[in-house]
Amino acid sequence: MLAETTATRPIPGASFGAELPGWRIAGDVPEIAMDGFRAALHRHRILLLRSVPNNPGALVAFSGRLGPLELHSASTATHPVHPEVFCVGNYEADGIRANFARGVEQWHADSSFRSVPSAASLFYGAIVPPVGGETWFLDATATWMALPAAMQARIEGLTAIHDIATLHAWNSRHTPGRPPLSEETRRRFPPQPQPLVRVHPVTGARSLFLCPAVISHIEGMSLAASAALIETLMAHATEERFLYRHAWQPGDLVAWDNRAVLHTATLFDHTKYTRLMFRTMIAG
């Protein structure tokens, strides 16, 4: 019922997600509006707010209303005043050293290497390039529902091992010169079993939990058989009908249900353009 109090409209060109026209995150957002935001997030999986003023403090406060915030595993790129904000892009000024990757990320859900991955992420475009630097989303619930019944039966109950070391090795191949994975990080995040098909704790919806650059293997399967199965599932999941490609405008804020969508980034010309994004993560 509360969701009906939140006005939404479809995002042009997207088969899922919704825009919340006229929303502001700063100031004292009433609790009933927050309830509506949460319900809309679970229902639409992606929420888009336009023309949000650049205010990292307000982003932290608003995100904190949705749940306890998760601190990023790489603290070097966090905001100097608001450590809950992870900075992404090639911006380096005002005490900010944003996390810059030269490789196109693979499809993933955030922090899948934690025992309880984050519930939601909020991503804000402070400075965005005119071309490139997009964020693409994949409706992981729709991809599950569209799988043939035989494949659903085959994969339900399988466990994938998500490993920060696998992710780190992948990142290092694409962005040479990264420091090695520290012993401390390795200790904090041991290989983590996750269901390949997960059930959303709020909506009960099943979805494909595929993170090709983070999954080392599927339990009980050889590396080759694991890779082949993941490749087959990814080929299905990345069909155009399940995707939404977000081209950023400055001031866009996108919130996504990290337990129902996968996302990835595209490259941009970092020799020409500056990019600065702020991200907060709601712990699961």
Q: Catalog residues that contact Fe ion under the rule CB under 5 A.
A: 110
The residue among 44 and 279 lying less far from Fe ion, judged by its C-beta, is 279
Q: Please give the residue whose beta carbon sits closest to Fe ion in the complex.
A: 110
The residue among 226 and 258 lying less far from Fe ion, judged by its C-beta, is 258
Question: What is the nearest approach in angstroms of Fe ion to the Cβ of residue 49?
Answer: 19
Question: What is the nearest approach in angstroms of Fe ion to the Cβ of residue 245?
Answer: 15
Question: What is the nearest approach in angstroms of Fe ion to the Cβ of residue 70?
Answer: 12
DSSP 189: S
Measured from the Cβ of residue 258, the count of other Cβ atoms closer than 10 Å reads 24
Tokens of 56: 């990292």
Question: What is the nearest approach in angstroms of Fe ion to the Cβ of residue 279?
Answer: 8
CB 35 within 8 A of CB 6: no
The residue among 110 and 252 lying less far from Fe ion, judged by its C-beta, is 110
Question: What is the nearest approach in angstroms of Fe ion to the Cβ of residue 111?
Answer: 8
Tokens of 178: 């990264």
The residue among 110 and 139 lying less far from Fe ion, judged by its C-beta, is 110
The residue among 84 and 110 lying less far from Fe ion, judged by its C-beta, is 110
The position carrying tokens 């080392």 is: 216
The residue among 110 and 257 lying less far from Fe ion, judged by its C-beta, is 110
Q: Which long-range contacts (CB under 8 A, 24 or more apart) does 5-11 make?
A: 5/32, 5/33, 5/36, 6/33, 6/36, 6/37, 6/39, 6/40, 8/40, 8/44, 8/47, 11/46, 11/48, 11/244
Question: In whole angstroms, what is the distance from residue 48 CA to residue 62 CA?
Answer: 15
Amino acid at 145: M
Question: What is the nearest approach in angstroms of Fe ion to the Cβ of residue 127?
Answer: 19
